[in-house]
């Protein structure tokens, strides 16, 4: 069975840009989360996410969903988009709510809309492979009732990711590239993760989903009815001032749950396309270090530096032209901003969130 | 033989404040050397040096010798002194020249002047012991021809200091506290330093000298005649505009040599008073770390910090109110300034000068 490519005008990107990370403190702050940072190259992760769609999805079919306090930052970073292409969430309620909002927005103007849901803060090194995988996903998702995920073949026994258990190749009706998802497992322990890796039957869930807006809303109504029913109150008022006012009251009370937990784990007819995309969720400063060019001693340092006998360090200075000197240091993460400095062992950069938690407790609001 | 105390009006402090250290980079710069920094407590080392003389030397008898480009900084830090109490060197020519300049200045107005020569950038914890040692030194130095040094009983085999070999107790005519200096040894190797320490016959040369101005000028004429003769050209014009103009031409060509090498090692009748003064030459960031109060994990951190599992670190932030967070780091020196950041293993902070040398080579004049 070889499904046809759906028409391009029906394919819409939904980029989730409302997140609020703490793992890139002190560079990331409440009002400047990871997707807006230029930690990898000259463009922000959000800008790279949009650029990556060139040739895949029509520019006018790109929709950014973001927290209303971040709309200004999105517009500044993406001046090529029209205001209508930025959908403001009245509160931060995780991905199930954000995708539901986008589905209503799309179906209102295009009942045949296929949604390509993408995180705004990941890295994809292999753009051609990504385009091919999305095109395949769109063909499968064109059939009402199908949900498709991109999966990443695991390279190490990560305990921080979600895993998809895949059917044997050949078990799906869509050819060997498209597998049936048999089970979701969130953040396994190390032993389980090692078993998954060894079995060859698992892929990482990269948070990229493709489905018809109509399919998603049906699954939402079935598996997360509280959210579905709340949003259905808006009914004929979507896109109108009355609808926006109602949404502002409804949205902050929606269940705060991810689309994986809330919908996908229970949904029928879920497929995955496992593919090496040169993908990274860039989940910590150490992950940023991994992606950067390095000198012969494994240091990723700012342009203006002097380094004596130092190895394996990542140093980021946000003040233009500031100079750094190192003597004899190894495997450190150093992030300097005008009002805060972080110095961290590189193998402990996943603990940066603990600093932000403590700043919150101490009400040092100026610092996070 | 019990010499009498000389009258207080004849005792003059000569504080050498023209130095140009590189070891406290990036906080110290060409125009802001160590003596002006508040790295130890709220007052600078220069201010502490002056305050330490309260009750010992009349305020009007304090003379600061400094490089002319640093006069403004001295006046700002020591507003209690009159302009005439700051002597400007037209160039930086090391201590023999600076002390010769001061000796001429003093003898011109007080032929009986006794000079107490002091560095401006050392730490002395035991002020009473220091006062007692200086009083003893002044009694011995009142006799024309005598030179007196304060000596520090060594606590470890330092290879960076000069050592004084002392006569056995009882060999000097001035009682058991005053010893004859039998030999000078600059910066011995480690084996020699260990032998010196074990013998009990050596003291560190702390760079504090007491003598009559007339004695010093006689020794200068005998052992460093080029400097003596050059300055003698000024003759009756000391303190007059013509003298100042002549000095500006003569001084930059004086031999660049320390008073130890140039005069003291050859001079007759040199005595030392060895005494524990709680002294430190504060010769590196690691030495500053040693003197600071620490938390229970041995960290000396700024007021505004969060520290997870970090030990033995010294962190100095020169931006008021800036925050620092550390995770898992050990035994580091971190010094942050608006335009430069240093991160250094604590046991290698004596290598900071290498950074400054390289900045000089690269002509990064804005950075040193």
Q: CA A24, CA A37: separation in Å to the nearest integer?
A: 9
Interface A–B counts its CB contacts (< 8 A) at 123
Nearest to residue B118, comparing CAs of B269, B255, B17?
Answer: B17
The Cα–Cα gap between A217 and B330 comes to 53
Flag whether pLDDT at A291 surpasses 80: yes
Mean pLDDT of the residues in chain A = 95
pLDDT at position B1, please? 55
Cβ–Cβ < 8 Å for A284, A350? yes
Q: How confident is the model at residue A169 (pLDDT cuts 50, 70, 90)?
A: confident
Q: Terminal CA-to-CA distance of chain B, rounded, Å?
A: 52
Between β-strands A11-16 and A114-119, what pairing exists: parallel, antiparallel or unpaired?
parallel
What local confidence, expressed as pLDDT, does residue B314 receive?
Answer: 98
Choose among B296, B331, B302: nearest CA to B315: B302
Whole-Å CA distances, A365 to A277, A334, A354: 38, 22, 15
| Residue-level length of chain A | 368
Q: B346 vs chain A: nearest CA distance in angstroms?
A: 9
> Does residue B191 register a pLDDT over 80?
yes
Q: Is the CB of A306 less than 8 angstroms away from the CB of B355?
A: yes
Which of A319, A334, A338 lies nearest to residue B343, judging by beta carbons?
A: A334
CB contact under 8 A, A364 and B323: yes
pLDDT at A50 exceeding the cut of 70: yes
Under the banding of pLDDT at 50, 70 and 90, the label for residue B179 is very high
Poorest-pLDDT segment among A27-31, A254-258, A324-328, B84-88: A27-31
Is the sign of the CA dihedral A257, A152, A38, A342 positive or negative? Answer: positive
| Closest C-alpha among B70, B72, B74 to residue B45 | B74
Calculate what percentage of chain B has a pLDDT beyond 90.
90
Distant-in-sequence, close-in-space partners of A328: CB < 8 Å, separation ≥ 6: A308, A309, A310, B344, B345, B347, B348, B351
Sequence-separated (6 or more) residues with CB below 8 Å from residue A118: A13, A14, A15, A16, A49, A207, A208
Lowest pLDDT segment from B39-48, B149-158, B211-220: B39-48
Percent of chain B with pLDDT over 70: 99
Q: Are A102 and A17 in contact (CB under 8 A)?
A: no
Q: Do B359 and A321 touch (CB under 8 A)?
A: no
B59: number of Cβ within 10 Å: 13
Is residue B44 within 8 A of residue B36, CB to CB? The reply is yes
Q: In Å, what is the CA distance from A247 to each residue of A99, A103, A242?
A: 14, 14, 9
Reply yes or no on whether the pLDDT at B93 is more than 80: yes
Closest chain A residue to the Cα of B357, Cα to Cα: A306
**Mean pLDDT, rounded, for B116-134:** 97
| The token pair that represents A108 in the structure block | 């209102």
The span from the first CA to the last CA of chain A, in angstroms, equals: 52
Q: What is the DSSP string of B162-214?
A: EEEEEPPTT-STT-TT-EEEEEEEES--HHHHHHHHHHT-EEEEEEEEEEEHH
**B266-305, pLDDT tens digit by residue?**
999 999 999 999 999 998 999 999 989 999 999 999 999 9
Residue B171 clears pLDDT 90, i.e. is over it: no
How confident is the model over B165-187, as a mean pLDDT? 92
The residue-averaged pLDDT of B89-117 equals 97
- So what's the pLDDT on residue A1? 56
* Residue-range domains of chain A with CATH: 8-280 (3.90.550.10), 285-367 (no CATH)
CB spacing of A308 vs B342 below 8 angstroms: no
Taking the CA of residue A37 and the nearest CA in chain B, the distance in Å comes to 20
Q: What is the pLDDT of residue A261?
A: 95
SS3 A171: coil
Give the tokens for residue B113.
């002047």
The pTM is what? 0.84
Q: How confident is the model at residue B40 (pLDDT cuts 50, 70, 90)?
A: confident
pLDDT of residue B291: 87
Residues A49, A29: Cα–Cα separation, whole Å:
20
pLDDT at A201: 96
What are the angstrom distances between the C-alpha of A140 and each of A57, A211, A277, B178? 16, 8, 19, 97
SS3 B91: coil
- Chain B residue closest to A327 (CA)? B344
pLDDT at B3: 80
Kindly report the number of other CB atoms within 10 A of residue A26's CB atom: 24
The residue-averaged pLDDT of B250-266 equals 96
Cβ–Cβ below 8 Å for B308 and A341: no
Tell me how close the Cα of B230 comes to any Cα of chain A, in angstroms. 43
Rounded distance between C-alpha atoms, residue B339 and residue B332, angstroms: 20
Q: What is the pLDDT of residues B48-58, one digit of tens each?
A: 999 999 999 99
- The span from the CA of B5 to the CA of B13, in Å, is 16
CA diameter of chain B: 67
| Percent of chain A clearing pLDDT 90 (strictly above) | 91
Residue B19 pLDDT: 83
Cβ(A123)–Cβ(A280) below 8 Å:
yes
Bridge-based pairing of strands A123-124 and A114-119 is unpaired
Residue B364 to residue A322, Cβ atoms within 8 A: no
Mean pLDDT computed over every residue of chain B: 95
């Amino acid at each position: 069975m070889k499904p046809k490519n759906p028409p391009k005008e029906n394919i819409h990107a939904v980029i989730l840009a409302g997140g609020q990370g703490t793992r890139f403190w002190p560079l990331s702050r409440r009002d400047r989360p990871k997707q807006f940072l230029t930690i990898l190259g000259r463009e922000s992760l959000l800008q790279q996410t949009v650029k990556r769609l060139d040739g895949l999805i029509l520019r006018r079919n790109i929709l950014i969903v973001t927290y209303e306090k971040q709309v200004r930052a999105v517009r500044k970073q993406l001046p090529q988009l029209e205001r209508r292409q930025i959908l403001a969430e009245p509160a931060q309620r995780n991905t199930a709510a954000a995708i539901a909002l986008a589905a209503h927005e799309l179906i209102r103007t295009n009942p045949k809309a296929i949604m390509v849901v993408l995180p705004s803060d990941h890295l994809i090194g292999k753009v051609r492979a990504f385009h091919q995988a999305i095109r395949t996903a769109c063909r499968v998702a064109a059939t009402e009732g199908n949900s498709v995920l991109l999966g990443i073949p695991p390279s190490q026994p990560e305990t921080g990711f979600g895993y998809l258990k895949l059917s044997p190749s050949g078990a799906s009706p869509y050819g060997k590239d498209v597998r049936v998802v048999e089970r979701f497992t969130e953040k396994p322990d190390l032993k389980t993760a090692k078993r998954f890796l060894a079995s060859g039957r698992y892929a990482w869930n990269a948070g990229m989903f493709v489905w018809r807006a109509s399919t998603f809303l049906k699954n939402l109504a079935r598996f997360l009815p509280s959210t579905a029913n709340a949003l259905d109150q808006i009914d004929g008022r979507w896109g109108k001032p009355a609808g926006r006012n109602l949404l502002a009251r409804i949205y902050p009370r929606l269940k705060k749950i991810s689309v994986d937990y809330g919908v996908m784990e229970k949904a029928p007819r879920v497929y995955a396309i496992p593919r090496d995309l040169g993908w990274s969720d860039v989940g910590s400063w150490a992950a940023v270090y991994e992606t950067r060019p390095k000198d012969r001693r494994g240091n990723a340092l700012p342009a203006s530096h002097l380094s004596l006998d130092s190895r394996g360090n990542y140093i980021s200075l946000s003040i233009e032209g500031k100079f750094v000197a190192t003597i004899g240091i190894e495997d450190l993460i150093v992030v300097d901003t005008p009002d805060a400095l972080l110095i961290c062992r590189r193998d402990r950069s996943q603990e940066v969130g603990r600093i932000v938690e403590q700043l919150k407790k101490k009400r040092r609001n100026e610092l996070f």
